[in-house]
Amino acid sequence: MKKVRLGIIGFGNMGAGHTKNYLDGRMPEIEITAVADRKPARLELARETLGNDVAYFAEGSELIKSGACEAILIAVPHYQHPELAMQAFDNHVHVMCEKPAGVYTKQVREMNEAAAKSDVVFGMMFNQRTHHVYRKMHEMVVGGQLGTLKRVNWIITDWYRTQSYYDSGAWRATWEGEGGGVLLNQCPHNLDLLQWICGMPARVRAFCHEGKWHDIEVEDDVTAYLEFENGATGVFITSTGDAPGTNRFEVLGDLGRLICEDDKLYYSKLEESERTFSKTEKQGFKRPPQTDSIVETDGQYEQHSGVLNAFAAAILRGEPLIAGGGEGINGLMLSNAMHLSSWKNEMVSLPIDEDEFLTHLNARRATSRHKEDSGVTFNTEGTY
């Protein structure tokens, strides 16, 4: 069986997790042939885990140029994602990028443009798209079963983190090291799913509370109001300080409602459009007839290995990816819009002014408490 020779850049939690899936036999068309990490201890752990037949490098750029692999998985701090991806494109190396695509859309847009000019496969690690409930929601909403979108509500506060989590790495929860907090670390999957299922909003008004529940400089509590072009509205609430937390995703259209909670999908189907019913029904308090059910799904949730298996199939046979790399800018646009709205204390339209966002971000990076330990070199242009 032909296999894709994969190099992993970054052997932290995610890189080690992907390696475990590989060693457990969950990725039959992939062979890990190279690993890069700047920390010698992590590189030694990778060697102990994978053996001496794998090539090891201190820098991702060295791995990319080495010829030791034909594809890479980028699992390093966020600012470095576009930089490494573009190096791979230049060397005709396929790219799978961990979330988020980057920290700011201006940089990610440059990455996407470079990808479009290359001849490689480019994917994003949006493993939540493999979840059976979210796949079914996407199918039903995009397929028109809910009719015209009216309201979206997602309270996703079960991302609880202690102070020790934030203290575990100098780059964590800093503007220079990570580029943001809960929106950029925990919530890229949720923001991706929101736009994948419901589409992109046109305007955002957000309140991002920085260091509300933890001794950190970035946001750990967010409430955002969304407006869509057709007049639909939404609310997105997230935090790493709520215990117990909640994960409830509700989508309402004129033909019914979906509620995702506790890995179940509840469906209320209207017999006719609410808009038609409202205009034609003569009784003022009568409600549209509805049928309630729990939607059956296939129960499958392949997680990260499913994304990588699709990545390998795309390289080997041209099969579709779970999420194309170019799609990573959408959820990041939502994240950037929420930050910018909060910083300016006003509603912002999408797409945002990317230069304005970068100016605000760079001001925070310049005074970031751990910028000297972040592993990236800072300048006022937002490059490396």
Say what the pTM is: 0.94
Q: What is the CATH number of domain 4-128+303-324?
A: 3.40.50.720
Determine the average pLDDT of the residues in 24-52.
Answer: 97
Given its phi and psi angles, is residue 211 left (phi above 0), alpha (psi -120 to 50 degrees) or beta? left
Tell me: the pLDDT tens digits for 348-368? 999 999 999 999 999 999 999
Per-residue model confidence as pLDDT tens digits over 241-299: 999 999 999 999 999 999 999 999 999 999 999 999 999 999 999 999 999 999 999 99
Report in angstroms the alpha-carbon separations of 179 from 65, 208, 224, 259, 332: 28, 14, 19, 32, 12
pLDDT at 370: 67
Which string of DSSP letters, residue by residue, matches 79-139?
THHHHHHHHHHHTT-EEEEPSSS-SSHHHHHHHHHHHHHSSS-EEE--GGGGSHHHHHHHH
Please, are residues 207 and 342 in contact by the beta-carbon 8 Å criterion?
A: yes
Please give the C-alpha separations between residue 20 and each of 12, 70, 161, 305, 369, in angstroms, as whole numbers. 12, 20, 24, 10, 34
Q: What percent of the chain shows pLDDT beyond 90?
A: 94
Domain ranges of the chain: 4-128+303-324, 131-294
Domain 131-294: top CATH class: alpha beta
Amino acid identity at 13: N
**Do 70 and 315 meet the contact criterion of CB atoms below 8 Å apart?**
yes
Label residue 205 left, alpha or beta by phi (over 0 means left) and psi (-120 to 50 means alpha).
Answer: beta
Dihedral sign (CA 115, 204, 176, 189): negative
For the segment 301-311, the average pLDDT, to the nearest whole number, is 98
Residue-wise pLDDT for 66-98, tens only, equals: 999 999 999 999 999 999 999 999 999 999 999
Residue 169 in this model has a pLDDT that exceeds 90 = no
Q: Is the pLDDT of residue 371 over 80?
A: no
